[in-house]
Amino acid sequence: MVTEHRKIGVLIADDSLVCRELLTAIVEDDAVLEVIGTARNGREAVDMTHDLRPAVILMDVHMPEMDGVEATRRILRDTPTPVVMISASTGQAELDLSFTALDCGALAALQKPVSPNDPHFDQVADDLCRLLRLMAEVKVVRRRDPSAAFRETLPIQAQSVPSVVAVASSTGGPTALLDVFADTRDNAGPAILVVQHLAKGFAEGFVSWLSERTGRDIRLATHGERIQSGQVRFAPTGVHMSVGANRTLQLSGCQPGQIHCPAGDVLLSSVARAYGSSAMGVVLTGMGADGAAGLLDIRSAGGMTVAQSEDSCVVYGMPRRAVEIKAAAKVLSPRQISQLLVRFSNVGRPGKALA
């Protein structure tokens, strides 16, 4: 007897008929995905999510009556369902809306597929379907404010201020990073280096959005840049960021077959080599295991290591792996990590013991 596997139901929300038809064709061409409904605006998307119960939603940012941000907010409140945002442009205004949707609970954001005549169309279509399949597996829950969690005991009083903090982050990371930087300030504490997995074309807009939301001077890294206390640098899309022997930022090309580029493991392992016991590593929410091996390198070198707590993660994948291989000495929420960074800033120079 042959068992028929149930396909993954996808709801598409886009005000453009041409885009709905193109997205439908892409999804229907996948062996395990099927379109169970199409919405012309955010209001229809909210209603259809309640009625059809899709496994994942592909949501346009700009739509009449109700945009994708408000639709995502209502869906996550009333009928928690994985949402993937799509944008027709990588202009800053459009990207700001996409990242605001991520802050409301959407899992990922990417640019709309281009014309089927584009030479990269097949790869873009494959990547979109792969993302939908992955996001459909995420259990979405109503989020709670983790700000009170810092009242828990944090056994870190004997630690000293690190020279650098290296962070690996993926699905759910934009919201987690907002919390991490929430109470910190410029030109104080250790340098912070971040790898955040993002779709192509979104890194510069994300850094600008995060800088605006947090009030911090946050920038993409440049090759050869010297690392300084208090600075925040993100890896650009499509290149690895690491720390060289002379403690400058190094940007290098990706190798064929690598799953992530930039990769958290590349950054964290290089920080372990360059800074040893004066390094701190953090692995935030995300699918897979990126960052866990690098975090173990930092712990082996005597540095401080942290994994995001399960209850505060959108996807407890990367932090889970870090805990499983005993790479994480501490398990904290993003707000707890933020307050720890504030302590570092208040203490002052790297190497000084925390009170």
**Catalytically active residues, by annotation:** 170, 197, 290
Task: Determine the Cα angle at 136 with ends 332 and 26, to 5°.
Answer: 135
Tell me how far apart the alpha carbons of residues 286 and 310 are, in angstroms, rounded to a whole number.
11
DSSP sequence for 283-317: E-SBSS-TTHHHHHHHHHTT-EEEEE-GGG-SSBS
Rg (CA), the chain: 21
- What residues does 338 pair with on adjacent strands? none
Task: Give the residue among 261, 235, 237, 264 at the shortest CA–CA distance from 249.
Answer: 235
Query: What are the b/e assignments for 90-120, b being 16+ CB within 10 Å?
Result: beeeebbbbbbbbbbbbbbbbbbbeeeeeee
Tell me how far apart the alpha carbons of residues 116 and 221 are, in angstroms, rounded to a whole number.
34
Residue 248: helix, strand or coil by DSSP? Answer: strand
Task: Give the residue among 136, 117, 113 at the shortest CA–CA distance from 125.
Answer: 113
165-to-85, 106, 227 alpha-carbon distances in Å: 30, 27, 11
